Structure 1
Amino acid sequence: AAAVAARQVKPVIMELGGKSPQVVLPDADLDLAVNGIAAGIFPAGGQSCISGSRLLVHREVIDDFTDRLVEVVKKARVGDPEDPKTQIGPMANRPQYERVLKCIADAESAGHRMLLDGRQSGREEGYFIGPTIFADVPNESHLAQNEVFGPVVSTEAWETEAEVINKANATVYGLAAGVWSRDVARAMRIADQVEAGTVYINNYFNAATQSPVGGFKQSGYGRENGWEGMRCYLQTRSVWLSTNPHQPDPFAD
C-alpha cells in the first residue's frame, strides 16, 4: 500500500506494529496492575497492535507481581468464541498459530524461564493458545524486541528510573506504553519520556474518538481520531488578495 501511494504521491496514514512496554513501579497497586496488564493483552489472544507484552517491573516487586499475574491468567477459559463462557478465543488462522508456537519454542531454546505454558490450553483441536509468560527476559532478546501477536509476555526487572526509561525506549517500535504507580507526578514524568504515541497511566487499552491514535518510530505514520486525525484529511491553502492592486511593468526602462 505504501509503495502504491508513493508512486501516485498519495498521503497515507499507517498504524503498524508494536512491542508495548508496561512499566510497573514499586509503589504500584499490584492488583490493579496485574488485572490491567492481563486485560491489555490476553482477552484478545495478544492479537492487537497495542498489546502490552513487554513487562518491565521494579525489582522490589517483580516476584510478587509475577506470582499474582500467573494466578490471575492461568484460570482464563480458552475456547470457542461463540461460547459465552469463553474468555480467550483462537489465533486468527493457522499461519499465525504456527508462528506463535514457533516464537514460544524459540524463547524456550534461548533459555528463557517459562512461568506459564499456554500451549497446554486443554483444547485438542483448533488454533488455541492460552496465556504464556516468560520471566527474566533480557530487553535485547528476540522475544522482547519482536512482536509476537499472540498471548505471550516477557518480564524483566529494573532498579532505576533512568534504566527503565531506556529499556522502554530501546526498540524500533513506539505505539503504546503503560505506567503503573500511585505517584501521579512520577508516572507523568515517565510518560513524558517514553517514546510512544499513546501512554496509559493506571489503565490500559482504552480509546476515544477525540483521542489521537498513532505511533512513533516504526509503529506508524500519521494519526487517527481527534483534531490530529482530522488534519490528515485536510489540505492547507494560502490565498493572497491585494487590497491596493498595482503591478509595475517588470521590464520597464
Structure 2
Amino acid sequence: NTGQSCIAANRIYVQRGLAERFIPAFVERVNALKVGNGLEPGVEIGPLINPAAVDLALSHIADAQAKGAQLLCGGQRHGDAGSAFLAPTVLTGVPGASLGMCDETFAPVAYVNVFDTEAEAVARANDTSYGLAAYVFTSDLNRAFRLMESLEAGMIGINDGVPTTSNAPFGGVKQSGWGRELGTEGLDAFLETKHVSLSLG
C-alpha cells in the first residue's frame, strides 16, 4: 500500500535499550525495498496516488528536518521530477510539532523516536488528534494489557501489524471517526434502539 492505508504506521517509538540495534537494522531493510511498477516481480513499493501526494510527503519530510529531525534514508522523489514514486524514508528525532507527527503523511515515511519509559511512550503516542490504530510489540503480557487500556485508538494490534478482519469492528476515536464498520457492531448504525418500560402493577 506504499503507506497509503489509513492504518499504516508512520510514528514508531522504540525503547532506548533496543534503539541502537533496531534503527540501523530498520534503515537497512527500508533501503533494500525495491521501488517500481507494482505489476513487476519483486517490487515492494509502488507509486503514490499522484505526484501531489509525493509533494505532500516531501513537505512533511522537509518540515521535520527544519525542526531538527535527522534523515536516515530516502527523503526524495524516486525517478524523474513529477514522478509519483517516493524513495522509502526514515527520519529519527522527530519533534512532536512536526507536520508528519500531527497529520497523515500517507506515504512510505517512518518517523522513528526513542523513549525511556512506558508512560512517555504512551503520552507521545496519544499526543495526536487522531486515533484509528495503534500497534504494540512486546513479550510482556502485563505491558500488553496496560497498553490496551491506555492507548487512545479504536484498534490495537499486539504483536500484529494487520489487526483487521471482517468479523471485528473497524473504527477509531477522536478525529478518526465515529461508529464502527464490520463485526456485529457495524450493524448498530442501521438499527434503532427502543426502550420499553412495562409495569405489571
User: What is the TM-score with the length of structure 2 in the denominator?
Assistant: 0.91
1:90 is aligned to 47
Could you list the per-position Cα deviations for residues 137-191 of structure 1 after superposition, in whole angstroms to 9, with x for gaps in the alignment?
Answer: 1233333222111111111111111111111111111111011111122112112
Distance 1:140 1:118, change over 3 A: closer
Greater length-normalized contact order (CA 8 Å, ≥ 6 residues apart): 1
Residue 117 of structure 1 contacts residue 130 of structure 1 at CA under 8 Å; is this kept in 2?
Answer: yes
CA RMSD of aligned residues (A): 2.0
Distance 1:241 1:162, change over 3 A: closer
Residue 139 of structure 1 contacts residue 156 of structure 1 at CA under 8 Å; is this kept in 2?
Answer: no
Q: Secondary structure at the match of 1:61?
A: helix
Determine which of 124, 129, 146 is the counterpart of 2:80: 124
Query: For the pair shown, which has the larger CA radius of gyration, 1 or 2?
Result: 1
2:70 is aligned to 113
- Structure 1: distance between partners of 2:169 and 2:112: 29
Residue 68 of structure 2 contacts residue 94 of structure 2 at CA under 8 Å; is this kept in 1?
Answer: no
State how 1:209-224 maps to structure 2 within 5 Å.
209-224=166-181
- Structure 2: distance between partners of 1:232 and 1:65: 43
Between stretches 234-243 and 215-224, larger displacement belongs to: 234-243
Residue 77 of structure 2 contacts residue 86 of structure 2 at CA under 8 Å; is this kept in 1?
Answer: yes
State percent identity of aligned pairs: 38
State how 1:2-41 maps to structure 2 within 5 Å.
none
Q: Which runs of 5+ in 1 are unaligned?
A: 1-43, 245-253
1:60 is aligned to 17
2:87 aligned partner, one-letter code: G
Residue 45 of structure 1 contacts residue 130 of structure 1 at CA under 8 Å; is this kept in 2?
Answer: no
Residue 135 of structure 2 contacts residue 159 of structure 2 at CA under 8 Å; is this kept in 1?
Answer: yes
Q: Which runs of 5+ in 2 are unaligned?
A: none
State how 1:72-221 maps to structure 2 within 5 Å.
72-119=29-76, 121=78, 123-124=79-80, 126-221=83-178
- Structure 1: distance between partners of 2:91 and 2:134: 19
Distance 1:196 1:242, change over 3 A: closer
Aligned residues between the structures: 200
User: What is the TM-score with the length of structure 1 in the denominator?
Assistant: 0.73
